[in-house]
Amino acid sequence: MGLGLAWVDGASGFVGQHLTAHLRAAGWDVEEASVRAGRPVAVPRGATVFHLAGLAHDAGADGRALMRANRDLTLAVYEAAVQAQARAFVHVSSATVLGGGHDVPADERAPRNPIGAYAVSKAEAEVSLQEAAGGVPVAIVRPPLVYGAGVKANFLRLLGWIARRRPVPVVANAGRRSLISVANLTHALDAIARATPTQEPCRIWHVRDGEDVAFDELCRRLGDVLGAPARTWRVPQPLATLGLGLVREGGGSNPFEALRLDDTSLRCELDWRPLESFGKGLGEVARWFRTIETGP
């Protein structure tokens, strides 16, 4: 017997493509959807909704465009889910709503402190869902930086920079951060969807691989899996931040600022464990990167 209908918006994106493949393999019937702010949304009756659509921090959009795509669209899809008497609503948010400076892992009770237009729009989406929740149970999932085959934006630029053995400015042991592979994220989203509804109308979940690393260590380990030892250049933080402007684009969070998540609730309440280790996840993304650089 199948697990029911999974309705996935944003299915053509990086996470969406992996999620739809995972859900089909796990036994869900999957319907892929494309939604946009300001346009009507139609959710199939009784579906489990996975809401991934929106604008990323590197899209070059201004604050109003981000708010329409990330807050207003989220609320519109949720309202459509309520009208369709959906089974559950799983919203993929972002750990950036917490801000930085979390040297001690932050659990789901940590206050929001978004910095930058993207993080503010994601935080506003969470608040809107919490206020509207009741008609359909809501799960808000906060992934940290997501990597894997097909990754885009700053992580892809960093892979290319290291593979070409260009020097990367770093601050020694600064900015210990949580990450999650796209395989682990899709596995977690599946587990959370199956467990929803819970006794609460709106529940927040933190997800992570299980190993937090500083930026200089991330560069070193990427160099190892790429077969191109990372050329890290240790400098004071102001110079490192300035130098990373060569690698990074958009309004992404500062890699030298700690952002660690506590995923105890997910592991203890749902008995969830990552499909793959951090090291294996890095190996997978390196293998994919080599195929796009040299061809299959």
pLDDT at 124: 98
Distance in angstroms (rounded) separating the CA atoms of residues 279 and 108? 26
Asked if the model's pLDDT at residue 71 lies above 80, the reply is yes
Range with the poorest average pLDDT among 39-48, 64-73, 128-137, 192-201: 192-201
Mean pLDDT estimate for the chain: 92
The distance from CA 164 to its chain's CA centroid, rounded to whole angstroms, is 27
Burial label, 86 (beta-carbon count in 10 A; 0-12, 13-18, 19+): buried
Per-residue exposure over 226-242, b if at least 16 CB sit within 10 Å of its own CB, e if not: bebebebeeeeeeebbe
Q: Output the pTM of the full model.
A: 0.94
What would the pLDDT profile of 96-109 be if each residue is shown by its tens digit?
999 988 899 999 99
Greater pLDDT, 237 or 166: 166
Res 123 pLDDT > 60 = yes
